[in-house]
Amino acid sequence: MRLRRAPIAAEPVPRVGADNAPASSPMPEDAADPATRTPPPLGALFVVWLRIGALSIGGGASTLYMMRRELVQRHRWLTGEEYNEAFALSKLVPGINITAQTILMGRMIAGGWGAVVCLAGLLAPAVLLTSLFAATITAVQGNHIANAMLGGVVPAAGGLTFAIVAQMGGGQIGTGWARVRSLGLMLVFALAVLLGHLPVPVVLIFAGILGACFPQLLGVVPTKPQTSGAVPTAEGEGTP
């Protein structure tokens, strides 16, 4: 990463300023021990999240990249381990993953108010610009030029959903037989909506119950119970 700072040992001059890691950092890569480090001022935290919120254009991947670069590598407010834990946990709750990750990382960095400040910083630019664009679309309704341009943009945006399906699906299908099984299950759920006309929430809830009842169907097998309890492993799962 090009923004990574030089190791502290190689830099005897004390550094100051919000952009620098605390001088007490024991490691060039990681934040201080979560138990002993001091949280940054909420104002500085907000500014950094405002930057993440404003500059992460083009979807989730760029936001994740910005968050890791700013919080783990640049400011060292979080350890890489904490970042990974927040990432994994945010996948387990419904709704937008990145907002969940933001709330959790905000609390890790600076407690309850940290969560509020980080979320506000992430959402403010997005919500303002989204509303502004939507207002523009409402305002130009009836304008021929705008309608012609939207006539091209709307099908493209709808079609891009296929790309998201492919990207999301590609990360989950696994290899070999697992791939056939995954594609088959995705097809069954699609047909349940397309031909069965089932409400989507019903399909999702049913899927959750099915997966909880028959995890072995998906290749999720608990390993031999040890003294500390069972640790399940899963085939075809990438690490974040």
In sequence order, which residues have a C-beta less than 8 Å from that of residue 98 and are 6 or more positions away? Answer: 60, 63, 64, 90, 122
Token pair 């834990």 in the structure block, residue: 85
Shortest Å distance, C-beta 18 to another protein: 22
Shortest Å distance, C-beta 97 to another protein: 6
Shortest Å distance, C-beta 6 to another protein: 30
Angle of the 60-68 helix axis to the 97-139 helix axis, nearest 10: 130
Shortest Å distance, C-beta 9 to another protein: 34
Of the pair 24, 141, the CB lying nearest another protein is at 141
Of the pair 24, 62, the CB lying nearest another protein is at 62
Of the pair 25, 69, the CB lying nearest another protein is at 69
Shortest Å distance, C-beta 34 to another protein: 13
**Largest distance between two CA atoms of the chain:** 71
Sign of the torsion formed by the C-alpha atoms of 77, 82, 84 and 85: negative
Of the pair 79, 102, the CB lying nearest another protein is at 102
Question: Are 118 and 45 in contact, with CB atoms under 8 Å apart?
Answer: yes
Of the pair 14, 161, the CB lying nearest another protein is at 161
Shortest Å distance, C-beta 63 to another protein: 6
CA–CA separation, 189 vs 172, rounded Å?
A: 15
In single-letter form, the type of residue at position 122 comes to L
Sign of the torsion formed by the C-alpha atoms of 193, 196, 199 and 205: negative
CA–CA separation, 120 vs 116, rounded Å?
A: 6
Of the pair 1, 164, the CB lying nearest another protein is at 164
Of the pair 32, 185, the CB lying nearest another protein is at 185
Shortest Å distance, C-beta 145 to another protein: 6
CA–CA separation, 129 vs 47, rounded Å?
A: 17
Residue 126's nearest CA partner among 47, 65, 52, 54 is 54
Sign of the torsion formed by the C-alpha atoms of 205, 209, 211 and 212: positive
